[in-house]
Chains A and B, each alone.
Chain A
Amino acid sequence: MLTYTMRRLALAVPTLLLISLIVFLLLELAPGDPMAQMPLTIPPEVREQMRIALGLGEPWYVRYVAWLHMVFVVEPSHMLAAATGVDLAAEGSRLLSWQSRAPVAEIIAQRLPQTLWVVGLSYLFGILVAVPLGVASARRPHSWLDTIGTFIAMAGFSVPTFFTGVLLIVIFSVTLGWLPSMYDTTLEVTDWDSLRRQAAQLAMPVTVLALYNAAQISRYVRAATLDNLAQDYVRAVRARGMSERAVLYLHVLRNAMIPVVTVIALGVPNIFAGAIITEQIFRVNGIGELLISAIHANDIPMVQTLTFLFAVLIVLFNLLADILYGMLDPRIRYD
Chain B
Amino acid sequence: MIRRCAMLAALAAAGPAAAQLAPDTPDHLDIFYWQAVSVMNPYLSGGVKDIEGASMVLEPLARYGPDGRLLPYLAREIPTRANGGISGDGRTITWRLREDIAWSDGTALTASDVVFTGEYCMHPEGGCAARSRFAGVERIEAPDAHRVRITFEEPTPAPYGPFVGAPSPILQKAQFADCLGARAPECTEQNFGPVGTGPFMVREFRPNDVVVLDANPEYREPGKPHFETAAIIGGGDPAAAGRTVMETGEVDYAWNLQVAPEVLERMAQGGAGVLEIGFGTTVERIEVNLSDPSPELPEELRATRNVPHPVLQDRRVRKALSLAIDREVLSEIGYGPAARPVCDLIPAPAHYVSGANDGCLTPDRARAGELLDAAGWRMNPDGVRMRDGVPLELTFTTSTNAVRQDIQALIRQWWQDLGIEVRLRNVEPSVYFGGDPGSPDTFQRFYADLQMHANRFEGTDPQAYLGARRCGLEPRPDTQWQGENINRYCDPDYDALWAELAGTGALARRVELVRALNDMLVQDYVVLPLVHRGSVSARANSLGGVELNVWDSELWNVADWYRMEAG
Residues of A at the B interface (CB closer than 8 Å) are 29, 31-54, 76, 79-80, 82-83, 93-94, 96-97, 99-103, 105-113, 169, 173-174, 177, 180-182, 184-188, 194, 279-285, 289-290, 293, 295-298, 309, 312
Contacts and interface: CB of A to CB of B under 8 A. Distances in A.
Contacts of A296: 429-430
B354 to A, nearest CB: 21
B457 A41 contact: yes
Given A109-B7, A281-B240, A174 B247 contact: yes
Contacts of A280: 235-237
Interface stretch (B8-16, B86-94, B544-552, B554-562): B8-16
A32 B439 contact: yes
B38 A100 contact: yes
Interface stretch (B39-47, B295-303, B498-506, B531-539): B39-47
Given A181-B250, A283-B235, A97 B207 contact: yes
A323 to B, nearest CB: 15
A34 B434 CA distance: 7
A53 B180 CA distance: 12
Contact of B436 (A32, A79, A177): A32
Contact of A80 (B6, B131, B235): B6
B207 A54 contact: no
Given A43-B484, A94-B186, 6 more contacts: A37-B433, A44-B435, A44-B484, A101-B185, A109-B8, A283-B240
Interface string B120-132: 0000111111011
A109 B435 contact: no
Contacts of A42: 46, 129, 132
A32 B434 contact: yes
Contacts of A281: 236-237, 240
B429 A36 contact: yes
19 contacts: A36-B433, A36-B434, A38-B47, A45-B131, A46-B132, A50-B127, A50-B129, A52-B127, A76-B6, A82-B6, A83-B6, A83-B13, A96-B185, A101-B185, A102-B188, A173-B248, A182-B240, A185-B210, A283-B236
Interface string B1-30: 001011111110110011111000000000
A92 B233 CA distance: 33
B405 interface: no
Nearest to B455: A40
A33 B435 contact: yes
B5, B125, B435 interface centre (most CB from chain A within 10 Å): B435
A3 to B, nearest CB: 21
A53 B233 contact: no
A122 B243 CA distance: 25
Contacts of B438: 29, 31
B39 A100 contact: yes
A181 B248 contact: yes
Nearest to A42: B46
A40 to B, nearest CB: 5
Contacts of A182: 233, 235-236, 240, 244, 250
* 4 tightest A-B CB contacts, nearest first: A53-B127, A33-B434, A31-B439, A36-B434
Contacts of A101: 39, 44, 184-186, 188, 191
A105 B185 CA distance: 15
Nearest to A312: B3
A180 B207 CA distance: 22
B38 A93 contact: no
Interface residues of B, number: 80
A103 B243 CA distance: 33
Contacts of A39: 46-48, 456, 458
Contacts of A282: 236
Interface of B: 3, 5-11, 13-14, 17-21, 36, 38-39, 44-48, 124-129, 131-132, 182, 184-186, 188, 191-192, 204, 206-210, 212, 233-237, 240, 243-244, 247-248, 250, 270, 428-436, 438-442, 455-458, 464-465, 482-484
Contacts of A93: 186
Contacts of B430: 32-33, 36-37, 295-298
A324 B264 CA distance: 53
B206 A32 contact: no
A32 B233 contact: no
A267 B125 CA distance: 44
B204 A109 contact: no
Nearest to B441: A31
B11 A110 contact: yes
A126 B452 CA distance: 45
A52 B186 CA distance: 15
B436 A33 contact: yes
Contacts of A37: 47, 429-430, 433
A83 to B, nearest CB: 4
A312 B7 CA distance: 15
Contacts of B192: 100, 102
A44 B240 contact: no
A52 B482 CA distance: 15
B426 to A, nearest CB: 15
B18 A36 contact: no
B201 to A, nearest CB: 17
Given A46-B132, A109-B11, A31 B243 contact: no
Contacts of B191: 100-102
A106 B131 CA distance: 29
Contacts of B235: 182, 279-280, 283-285, 289
Nearest to B1: A316
B233, B270, B434, B464 interface centre (most CB from chain A within 10 Å): B434
Contact of A82 (B13, B38, B206): B13
A83 B456 CA distance: 49
Nearest to B479: A44
A31, A46, A50 interface centre (most CB from chain B within 10 Å): A31
Nearest to A173: B248
Contacts of B8: 109, 112
B236 A79 contact: no
B476 to A, nearest CB: 12
Contacts of A298: 430, 434
Nearest to A183: B235
Contacts of A289: 208, 235
Given A82-B10, A99-B39, A182-B250, A31 B431 contact: yes
B6 A32 contact: no
A255 B464 CA distance: 72
Contacts of B432: 36
Nearest to A97: B207
A186 B436 contact: no
B10 A102 contact: no
Contacts of A31: 431, 434, 436, 438-442
A47 to B, nearest CB: 6
A253 to B, nearest CB: 29
Nearest to B186: A93
Contact of A41 (B5, B124, B247, B456): B456
Contact of A285 (B20, B47, B208, B429): B208
B207 A102 contact: yes
